[in-house]
């Protein structure tokens, strides 16, 4: 029997929150299969104590938060886990005042915070997903990266059906750890990416790479910890620390999207060099993650 309930999730700094802007970013690929944007409703399956729970998230501005309708074939669903998961994913506990104060005085960022006011830094809520997504997306266009992600999820992730739709869950490290590179190469992952993804899965399954240890570290130590694993470089580490670990100073300096966005916003004749990127971004400091994210948003037409 399917149980239904509704919960409320408060949003910090609600005056600087726009669910509509978040939905625009979440709609950037029609190949996305881990969540669904249906008008003003955001749907996602969250695994709670081994049980897949379908959530339908809507705006509740009069209550300065979000409303979540939960559908699950289980009793005693841990609603606090769901609240924390969605809060982390959509960065609902962020105070944007310091970033907006900084950005107002910045020639590049000032127009972006006006155009996309209320956009939160949409994260990746699972560590394994964040790590493997950085590897999947290396040196290929975003569309093909989503194609590879979709193939991996459909082949090895759990799924539930509701109505006439199927909702997917990202594969667990223990599942991918059992694979051989040939399994992923058959999906058009490169040999090196297949090796790296399986290596990371085994590191997590064997508890050589753990969430608990990562969370115990400051930014610099966390970056070095991630880089110590095969396949994770400076860009990948900073991407994960930005999108999963929520370090505000994380800056994926080598990111091609960041370079293209700065080229557009600064109206440069050519893509800037890495040294020039460092010059343009060195003053961002603790605002680097949000500055990067708003520049990424500027590329989305």
Domain assignment present for 232: yes
Domain assignment present for 204: yes
Average pLDDT rounded to a whole number, residues 208-215: 98
34-78 confidence digits (pLDDT tens): 999 999 999 999 999 999 999 999 999 888 999 999 987 767 789
Query: Does 255 qualify as catalytic in the annotation?
Result: yes
CATH of the domain at 197: 1.10.340.30
Domain assignment present for 66: yes
Contact present, 167 and 102 (Cβ < 8 Å) = no
Please give the share of the chain, as a percent, with pLDDT higher than 70. 99
pTM of the predicted structure, to 2 decimals: 0.95
Please give the share of the chain, as a percent, with pLDDT higher than 90. 91
Of the candidates 13, 93, 218, 255, the residue annotated as catalytic is 255
CATH of the domain at 89: 3.30.310.20
Q: Is pLDDT at 201 greater than 80 in this prediction?
A: yes
The range of the structural domain enclosing residue 217 comes to 127-243
Distance of alpha carbon 221 from alpha carbon 249, whole angstroms: 13
pLDDT at 1: 53
Average pLDDT rounded to a whole number, residues 80-87: 98
Query: Taking all residues of the chain, what is their mean pLDDT, rounded to a whole number?
Result: 96
Q: Is pLDDT at 301 greater than 80 in this prediction?
A: no
Domain assignment present for 270: no
159 plus 231 within the same structural domain: yes
39 plus 132 within the same structural domain: no
Contact present, 6 and 65 (Cβ < 8 Å) = no
Q: Look at residues 95, 118, 135 and tell me which one is the last residue of a structural domain.
A: 95
Cα end-to-end distance, the chain, whole Å: 42
145 plus 236 within the same structural domain: yes
145 plus 230 within the same structural domain: yes
133 plus 234 within the same structural domain: yes
Domain assignment present for 110: no
137 plus 239 within the same structural domain: yes
Domain assignment present for 122: no
- The structural domain count of the chain equals 2
Q: Look at residues 243, 264, 293 and tell me which one is the last residue of a structural domain.
A: 243
Distance of alpha carbon 281 from alpha carbon 298, whole angstroms: 16
86-97 confidence digits (pLDDT tens): 999 999 999 999
177 plus 132 within the same structural domain: yes
In this structure, of 124-133, 155-164, 288-297, the range with the lowest mean pLDDT score is: 155-164
Domain assignment present for 44: yes
164 plus 78 within the same structural domain: no
66 plus 146 within the same structural domain: no
């Amino acid at each position: 029997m399917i149980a239904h309930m509704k919960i409320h999730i408060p949003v910090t700094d609600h005056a600087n929150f726009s669910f509509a802007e978040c939905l625009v970013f979440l709609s950037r690929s029609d190949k996305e299969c881990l969540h669904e944007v249906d008008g003003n409703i955001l749907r996602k399956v969250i695994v709670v104590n081994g049980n897949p729970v379908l959530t339908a998230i809507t705006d509740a501005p009069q209550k300065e938060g979000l409303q979540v309708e939960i559908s699950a074939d289980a009793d005693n669903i841990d609603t606090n886990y769901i609240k924390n998961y969605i809060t982390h994913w959509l960065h609902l506990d962020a105070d944007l005042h310091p970033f907006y104060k900084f950005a107002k005085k910045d020639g590049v960022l000032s127009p972006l915070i006006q155009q996309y006011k209320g956009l939160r830094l949409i994260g990746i809520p699972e560590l394994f997903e964040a790590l493997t997504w950085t590897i999947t997306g290396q040196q290929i266009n975003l569309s093909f990266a989503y194609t590879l992600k979709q193939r991996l999820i459909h082949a090895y992730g759990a799924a539930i059906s509701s109505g006439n739709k199927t909702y997917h869950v990202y594969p667990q490290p223990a599942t991918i750890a059992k694979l051989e590179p040939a399994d992923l190469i058959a999906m058009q992952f490169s040999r090196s990416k297949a090796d790296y993804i399986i290596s990371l899965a085994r590191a997590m399954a064997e508890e050589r790479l753990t969430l608990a240890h990562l969370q115990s570290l400051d930014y610099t130590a966390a970056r070095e910890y991630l880089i110590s694993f095969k396949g994770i470089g400076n860009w990948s580490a900073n991407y994960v620390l930005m999108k999963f670990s929520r370090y505000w100073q994380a800056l994926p300096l080598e990111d091609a999207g960041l370079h293209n966005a700065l080229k557009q916003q600064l109206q440069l004749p050519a893509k800037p060099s890495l040294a020039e990127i460092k010059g343009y971004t060195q003053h961002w400091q603790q605002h680097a993650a949000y500055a990067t994210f708003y520049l990424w948003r500027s590329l989305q037409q």
